[in-house]
Amino acid sequence: MTLIEPILEPLADIGGPAQPLLDVKNLTKHFPVGGGFLAEKKTVRAVDDVSFSIAKGETVGIVGESGCGKSTTARLLMHLMPRNAGEILFDGETVGGTLTMRDFRRGMQMVFQDSYASLNPRLTIEDSIAFGPKVHGIADKEARVLARDLMGKVGLRPEVFANRYPHEVSGGQRQRVNIARALALKPRLVILDEAVSALDKSVEAQVLNLLTDLKREFGLTYLFISHDLNVVRYISDRVLVMYLGQVVELGPVDEVWDGPAHPYTRALLAAMPALDPDQRTQEPPITGDPPNPIDPPPGCRFHTRCAFFEPVCAEACPALAPVAGGAHFAACHMVIPGSGHSRAPKAGGNP
């Protein structure tokens, strides 16, 4: 087999290493619900004023429970649904401004949780991977060579798997196909939305190793969304903790794990099974289920489940404020100087 020149060039780096690859400002998405005959119209505040950035070559993790808005955030970033407000800058450019949707989609790709539902059941694996490049103007023959090359990269022997259909391979193999398909357009940023959650543990480790290898080989940047804190800690450089549509804590993964500042983050970490038979959990860290995002509580959204609740928590919504180090932030009245919470540091003085 002769290797052909890759015709699809990766998108060029524009702003240099100092400019974040992705800069998200005040992202907001509200879904209207109800509003039928005589029914009251309500709003799900799925994503509410979320801001963060991802540096080039970084892996950022998003953790949170179901309904916290992590998947909606991913879909908004991919421009799979319109947003109510906010700005998404991809290497300094916005879609519709200097960046076309076509180029944007090449630059950012996504892998979903359900490996079967996200593949076309009528296309063979080779066709699925070659589909994107063909849409972007690559000839059929070259696209197939590229597809087979990528199959090798994700550990699927092309001679065995190229002509199989999605239902003919295992879940772990299907997720490798999805990863290969995402890489076919030479993206710079890959969003992995619960990409390993449906896999068995022994297969999960294989796919995590694969993701690490691919990141190095292709110089990728990852946004890794998961409810599994162990996996997020393993793979991420920085982590975002979300609760009911808002970012409650943000920082380098080790700082957040070693010194979680938000009570929700502490509860989430304490809720992890101990993995030591002698240190079983004795008390649930928090009680109750996450509240319904249709009517999020006023003020701090966590105050209904928080052990440190004080009146100020129900009145004002805390903004992200720096915790100790430079890159660690939490949205809690207990870290905001002079917030009125008895545990808050004094305004103006040193904590």
Q: Which of residues 57-76 bind another protein (CB under 8 A)?
A: 65-66
H-run or E-run covering 86 = strand 85-90
Sign of the C-alpha dihedral, residues 151, 156, 162, 165? negative
- Interface residue with another protein among 4, 272, 319, 347 (CB under 8 A) is 272
Judged by CB under 8 A, does residue 233 bind another protein? yes
The stretch near another protein (CB under 8 A) out of 40-48, 85-93, 196-204, 318-326 is: 196-204
- Residue 204's closest CA among 190, 194, 219? 194
CA 21 to chain centre: 14
Judged by CB under 8 A, does residue 95 bind another protein? no
- Interface residue with another protein among 28, 212, 218, 294 (CB under 8 A) is 212
**In terms of CB distance, is 236 or 339 closer to another protein?**
236
- Interface residue with another protein among 37, 39, 40, 287 (CB under 8 A) is 287
**In terms of CB distance, is 254 or 315 closer to another protein?**
254
DSSP 40: P
Question: Hey, what are 143's tokens?
Answer: 């696209």
**In terms of CB distance, is 90 or 302 closer to another protein?**
302
Dihedral (Cα; 169, 174, 180, 182), 10-degree rounding: 150
**In terms of CB distance, is 272 or 347 closer to another protein?**
272
Question: Hey, what are 297's tokens?
Answer: 């509580």
- Interface residue with another protein among 88, 235, 250, 335 (CB under 8 A) is 235
- Interface residue with another protein among 88, 177, 229, 344 (CB under 8 A) is 229
C-alpha distances in angstroms, 217 versus 14, 75, 211, 220? 20, 26, 10, 8
318 touches 336 (CB < 8 A): yes
- Interface residue with another protein among 132, 158, 166, 172 (CB under 8 A) is 172
Report which residue type is found at 154: V
**In terms of CB distance, is 6 or 171 closer to another protein?**
171
Q: Least distance in Å: CB of 290 to another protein?
A: 7
Judged by CB under 8 A, does residue 131 bind another protein? no
Rounded Cα distance between 160 and 237, Å, is 36
Q: Least distance in Å: CB of 348 to another protein?
A: 36
Rounded Cα distance between 347 and 177, Å, is 54
Q: Which of residues 111-130 bind another protein (CB under 8 A)?
A: none
Judged by CB under 8 A, does residue 173 bind another protein? yes
Report which residue type is found at 84: N
CA 147 to chain centre: 26
Chain contacts with another protein (rule: CB under 8 A) = 65-66, 170-173, 200-206, 208-209, 212, 227, 229-231, 233-237, 253-254, 267-268, 271-277, 280-290, 292
